Amino acid sequence: MSTPGASGMPLLQVENLSTAFRTSRGILRAVDEVSFTLEKGETLGIVGESGSGKSVLVRSIMNILPRTALIPPQTKVILEGKDTRLLSRAEAKHFWGTQIAMVFQDPMTSLNPVKKIGTQITDPLRFHLGMSKSAARARAIELLDLVRIPEPARRLNQYPHELSGGMRQRVIIAIALSCNPKLLVADEPTTALDVTVQKQILDLLENLQRDLNMAMILITHDLGVVAGRADRIAVMYAGRMVETADTKALFRNMRHPYAEALLKSIPRLENPSHTRLDAISGRPPDMVRPPAGCRFASRCRYAQDRCVAELPELTTAGDPDHRFACFFPVGTPEGERALAANLAAGQTATGLDLHAQAVS
Amino acid sequence: MAGSGKAHLRNSDDVLIKVENLVVEFPAGRGRVVHAVSDISFDVLAGETLGLVGESGCGKSTTGRAIMQLPSPTSGSVTFDGVEMTKLGGEELRRMRTRMQMIFQDPVSSLNPRRKVKDIVAEGLSIWGSKVGTFSADRVNETLEAVGLDPEIVSDRKPHQFSGGQCQRICIARALVLDPKVIICDEPVSALDVSVQAQILNLLEDMKARYGLTLVFIAHDLAVVKNVSDRVIVMYLGKMCEVAPPDALYERPAHPYTKILIDSIPEPDPLKADHTQAVIGEIPSPISPPSGCRFRTRCPNVQDVCATEEPVLREIGAGHYVACHFPNEAPVRINA
Ligand SMILES: Nc1ncnc2c1ncn2[C@@H]1O[C@H](COP(=O)(O)OP(=O)(O)OP(=O)(O)O)[C@@H](O)[C@H]1O
Ligand SMILES: Nc1ncnc2c1ncn2[C@@H]1O[C@H](COP(=O)(O)OP(=O)(O)O)[C@@H](O)[C@H]1O
Ligand code: SF4
Ligand code: SF4
Ligand SMILES: [Mg+2]
Ligand SMILES: [Mg+2]
């Protein structure tokens, strides 16, 4: 767990971040009014299903969006007090290489298949840090050793296809660490990997983060992946942050029905086989025409008339650090009453059938 | 003869698939050979779901495909409903194969992007010469409905208009429409979000009950495999480590590798956050697998004998078999 730096200034402040894309069908609102702060050395887990805006959010922060992206002027991304949206493109390039680094989901596509591992690690060292050829090579060996790749010197002469998926992801992490970033953004770093390799990579990230005192944003669709590893968690649904809290507080007092549903859909080893899973029925809304009210309403077991008419904003109850956007929060009297009424009626205000949720 | 053993094979009239001494090897150039599957045996009872679990490259898909004779194995026997599959050729084999269908990890790329959903689902029907026309259209609609898709809405659309989970439903419909006895599901949920994964796992359970299917379910996540299986085989580098009912496997994992698979699953409760040890190192190359026990290069329990003697499957509990010289909580010790 981390504390604000001596200056009292957070490492990263994101205010009112919204990102939209111009598409043939109209404006697609991928991320909508997301705000959060990240302290030095802290780990933030961002969780949500496919298409919820996780990648667009971090790509907006890093300023690596395609040209079709639209970001309104009130969006602010402040890194150590500096408003990064005011940087020129050229300034941005060096700035990101050294302050923030990113690890992507697919270890094959983020390495260049025709370049040796060695060159791929030394290029950024020479470009960003102006190292000599031999110094960069020595540092590359050090970095591969840091990510626990055996025989690092030999690996420098290998091509990506000669390595397993897990090894390739280690190389990508080594490249990301090469300029000593203050923040590492890992976008689903293990989704393409086996559970055994996933555990190795997540353990590695955790150790590196602690040893190098980096902050980290860890993105995943599986709440289980961040449960034991993030200091804070932010749950996203349809482009909006719907709940955020300290990890333990979030699991102890989960308030948002979507967060609860996401947790319940994970198959648990301790349950007997053939235990029916609590799947979330339906799918997320079309982001070109999002519903007027709560975006989760059509799939929410708690939904009432108000949810269809009004968009819930993030609020707190008691713990100022625990924010959630829901009119009938889980574990509160309002929430309990809403669910009980829906169960009695057999359906929710949006017509979701609570008896036949299995297949849909 | 060192092998993976057959102690776990069942003597039952309900055996639908029986695989014995299955070996699958692929040429790897310069005279070398990939030992993808090395002498494994198992059976599947009618109506049962057999789970195959293990990390990438351990031979799960190769085993699944060998059952379908895609390609037929290097050696060994595969019988389906009493018929020796490895001896069949041409037309006979193709007929048998329609009774076994396969669904895959990547639902989006296993669908032809230029065809409409109704044609994709009907593919098998027209190939197999059922009367085309209203009979097959009804059958397609009925199957789409069974997998939770509204035929009115989806029939004329193409795959790119669907999410990964919906594409997997289309793949399942395409398999079901032929009324198969067996479906081999090769990592059907590995590419899906946890929320969609739950929908598909529930759907497979429903389809199994509704159509009386027998399933072979392949995945690398033991929690997923456990949820749908009646019996689980843990594989490692082309060999079998452990065979057990899923609940026993979780409660009393005997093989050191099974324990590691269990410990690797993320714990979705920070209040009991796990600090178990991850598996050390990488899976060795199947071109030159370790002598003796193939897991020995990464095993916490390893002893000298593990390098020279291959462990054979033996029973350690009701329906529970392990191939290891020094299993965890072992009631008996092997003497070769
Ligand atoms: N370049 C683009 N042009 C148009 N729409 C886009 C673009 N990039 C992303 N989107 C849309 O923005 C939304 C959010 O996408 P994003 O990639 O951030 O989701 P995600 O949460 O990272 O999902 P996943 O788990 O699948 O990676 C989606 O509806 C997506 O289709
Ligand atoms: N057609 C093939 N040619 C050569 N090697 C193959 C072929 N198919 C599979 N293999 C190899 O056989 C081993 C087992 O593969 P596979 O059955 O796909 O594993 P899994 O499905 O468990 O990930 C791997 O080492 C793989 O690279
Ligand atoms: S209860 Fe209402 S506001 Fe809360 S998540 Fe459900 S639909 Fe949204
Ligand atoms: S103890 Fe020996 S036989 Fe058992 S898994 Fe380990 S190496 Fe193999
Ligand atoms: Mg993404
Ligand atoms: Mg496979």
- Among B55, B147, B163, the residue with its CB nearest the CB of A194 is B55
Instruction: Assess if residue A50 is contained within a domain.
Output: no
H helices then E strands: how many in chain B? 11, 12
Q: Write the CB contacts of B214 (distance below 8 Å, at least 6 apart in sequence).
A: B16, B17, B44, B45, B46, B47, B48, B49, B181, B182, B183
Chain B residues 71-90 with a CB less than 8 Å from chain A? none
- Among B195, B246, B273, the residue with its CB nearest the CB of A265 is B195
Ligand 2 pocket residue status of B180, Cβ below 6 Å: no
Cα distance between residue A247 and residue A218, in whole Å: 13
Question: Which residues of chain B are modeled with pLDDT < 70?
Answer: 1-3, 127-135, 273-275, 330-336
Interface test with B, best of A54, A108, A151, A196 (most B CBs within 10 A): A196
pLDDT at residue B332, as a whole number:
43
Q: Of the residues A129, A148, A173, which one is the last residue of a structural domain?
A: A173
In this structure, what token pair is assigned to residue B332? 């008996």
pLDDT at residue A97, as a whole number:
67
As a whole-number percent, the residues of chain A with pLDDT over 70 amount to: 94
pLDDT at residue A108, as a whole number:
65
For the residues of B243-279, what is the DSSP string, one character each?
A: EE-HHHHHHS--SHHHHHHHHHS--S-GGG---PPPP
Choose which residue among A328, A334, A347 to substitute to test ligand 3 binding: the one with the highest number of ligand atoms within 8 A of its C-beta: A328
Chain A residues 97-126 with a CB less than 8 Å from chain B? none
Q: Of the residues A154, A173, A192, which one is the last residue of a structural domain?
A: A173
Q: Write the CB contacts of A221 (distance below 8 Å, at least 6 apart in sequence).
A: A47, A48, A49, A50, A188, A191, B193, B194, B195
The answer to whether the Cβ–Cβ distance between A167 and B282 falls below 8 Å is yes
Instruction: Assess if residue A153 is contained within a domain.
Output: yes
* DSSP 8-state class, residue A75: -
Q: Which residue has the higher pLDDT, A25 or A261?
A: A261
Ligand 3 pocket, Cβ-based, cut-off 6 angstroms: A 257, 294, 296-297, 300, 302-303, 307, 312, 326-328
Cα distance between residue B3 and residue A301, in whole Å: 53
CB B262 within 8 Å of CB A197: no
Nearest CA in chain A to B223: A269
Dihedrals phi, psi of A231, to nearest 5 degrees: -75, -40
Instruction: Assess if residue A260 is contained within a domain.
Output: yes
The answer to whether the Cβ–Cβ distance between B165 and A266 falls below 8 Å is no
Say yes or no to pLDDT of A360 above 50.
no
Side by side, the strands of the sheet bearing A240-246 are A100-103, A183-187, A215-220, A43-47, A232-237, A240-246, A319-324, A315-317
Strands B239-244 and B320-322: antiparallel
Cα distance between residue A82 and residue A68, in whole Å: 25
Cβ neighbours of B220 in A, within 8 Å: 194-196
Q: Residue B71, preceding bond cis, omega within 30 degrees?
A: yes
CB B133 within 8 Å of CB B126: no
Instruction: Assess if residue A326 is contained within a domain.
Output: yes
What is the nearest CA distance from A9 to chain B, expressed in angstroms? 28
CB A325 within 8 Å of CB A35: no
Q: At residue A137, what is the residue type?
A: R
Give the number of the atom of ligand 2 that is nearest the alpha carbon of residue B186.
Answer: 21
Instruction: Assess if residue A341 is contained within a domain.
Output: yes
Give the residues across from A217 on adjacent strands: A44, A185
CB A295 within 8 Å of CB A237: yes
Nearest CA in chain B to A275: B227
How do residues A142-184 score in pLDDT, each as one tens digit?
A: 999 999 898 899 999 999 988 888 889 999 999 999 888 999 9
Cα distance between residue B262 and residue A269, in whole Å: 8
* Secondary structure of residue B153 in the 3-state scheme: helix
CB distance from B174 to chain A under 8 Å? Answer: no
Cα distance between residue A21 and residue A26, in whole Å: 8
Residue closest via CA to ligand 1's atom 12 equals A30
Instruction: Assess if residue A343 is contained within a domain.
Output: yes
Q: Of the residues A155, A173, A191, which one is the last residue of a structural domain?
A: A173
Q: Which domains are seen in chain B, by residue range?
A: 1-99+181-194+210-266+275-336 (3.40.50.300), 110-179 (no CATH)
Cβ neighbours of A275 in B, within 8 Å: 227
pLDDT at residue B335, as a whole number:
41
Size of interface A-B (CB pairs under 8 A): 152
Indicate the burial class of A358 (C-beta count within 10 angstroms; 0-12, 13-18, 19 or more).
middle
Place of tokens 């349809």: A238
What is the nearest CA distance from A23 to chain B, expressed in angstroms? 15
CA of B92 to the centre of ligand 5 (A): 46
Give the distance from CA B218 to its chain's centroid: 3
CB distance from B195 to chain A under 8 Å? Answer: yes
How do residues A7-20 score in pLDDT, each as one tens digit?
A: 578 999 999 999 99
pLDDT at residue B95, as a whole number:
87
CB distance from B241 to chain A under 8 Å? Answer: no
CB distance from A265 to chain B under 8 Å? Answer: yes
The answer to whether the Cβ–Cβ distance between A269 and B264 falls below 8 Å is no
Q: Write the CB contacts of B304 (distance below 8 Å, at least 6 apart in sequence).
A: none
Domain that holds residue A121: 113-173
Dihedrals phi, psi of B182, to nearest 5 degrees: -125, 140
Instruction: Assess if residue A283 is contained within a domain.
Output: yes
Give the distance between the most distant pair of CA atoms in chain B. 67
Give the residues across from B272 on adjacent strands: none
Give the number of the atom of ligand 2 that is nearest the alpha carbon of residue B235.
Answer: 22
Dihedrals phi, psi of A76, to nearest 5 degrees: -125, 135
In this structure, what token pair is assigned to residue A209? 């983060």
pLDDT at residue B127, as a whole number:
62
Instruction: Assess if residue A118 is contained within a domain.
Output: yes
pLDDT at residue B5, as a whole number:
86
As a whole-number percent, the residues of chain A with pLDDT over 90 amount to: 68
Lowest mean pLDDT among A63-72, A100-109, A258-267, B104-113: A100-109
pLDDT at residue A81, as a whole number:
86
The answer to whether the Cβ–Cβ distance between A269 and B270 falls below 8 Å is no
**Of A238, A227, A353, A229, which is closest to residue A294 (Cα–Cα)?**
A238
Ligand 2 pocket residue status of B284, Cβ below 6 Å: no
Cα distance between residue A300 and residue A339, in whole Å: 10
In this structure, what token pair is assigned to residue B191? 């590419």
Say yes or no to pLDDT of A60 above 50.
yes
Residue closest via CA to ligand 4's atom 4 equals B324
CB B104 within 8 Å of CB B171: yes
Indicate the burial class of A307 (C-beta count within 10 angstroms; 0-12, 13-18, 19 or more).
buried
pLDDT at residue B128, as a whole number:
55
pLDDT at residue B237, as a whole number:
96
Q: At residue A50, what is the residue type?
A: S
Q: What share of chain B is helix, strand, coil (3-state, %, to 5)?
A: 35, 20, 45
CB distance from A90 to chain B under 8 Å? Answer: no
Interface test with A, best of B195, B241, B277, B283 (most A CBs within 10 A): B195
The answer to whether the Cβ–Cβ distance between A276 and B193 falls below 8 Å is no
* Same domain flag for A261 and A164: no
pLDDT at residue A243, as a whole number:
98
CB B170 within 8 Å of CB B196: no
| Confidence band for A310, pLDDT divided at 50, 70 and 90 | very high
- Among A200, A248, A252, the residue with its CB nearest the CB of B278 is A200
What is the nearest CA distance from A25 to chain B, expressed in angstroms? 13
Cα distance between residue B162 and residue B33, in whole Å: 40
Place of tokens 């948002």: A256
* Secondary structure of residue B18 in the 3-state scheme: strand
Q: Which residue has the higher pLDDT, A218 or A2?
A: A218
Cβ neighbours of A195 in B, within 8 Å: 55, 220-222, 261, 264-266
Cα distance between residue A306 and residue A294, in whole Å: 9
Cα distance between residue A253 and residue A288, in whole Å: 33
CB A284 within 8 Å of CB A268: no
Inter-axis angle of helices B117-127 and B134-146, to 10 degrees?
120
Say yes or no to pLDDT of A64 above 60.
yes
Cα distance between residue A315 and residue A321, in whole Å: 10
H/E element holding A317? strand A315-317
- Among A49, A165, A359, the residue with its CB nearest the CB of B148 is A359
What's the total number of domains in chain A? 2
Give the number of the atom of ligand 4 that is nearest the alpha carbon of residue B255.
Answer: 5
State the CB neighbour count (10 A cutoff) for residue A353: 11
* Same domain flag for A168 and A264: no
Cβ neighbours of B56 in A, within 8 Å: 164-165, 193-194, 197
* Secondary structure of residue A40 in the 3-state scheme: coil
In this structure, what token pair is assigned to residue B263? 């410990």
- Among B163, B194, B226, the residue with its CB nearest the CB of A269 is B226
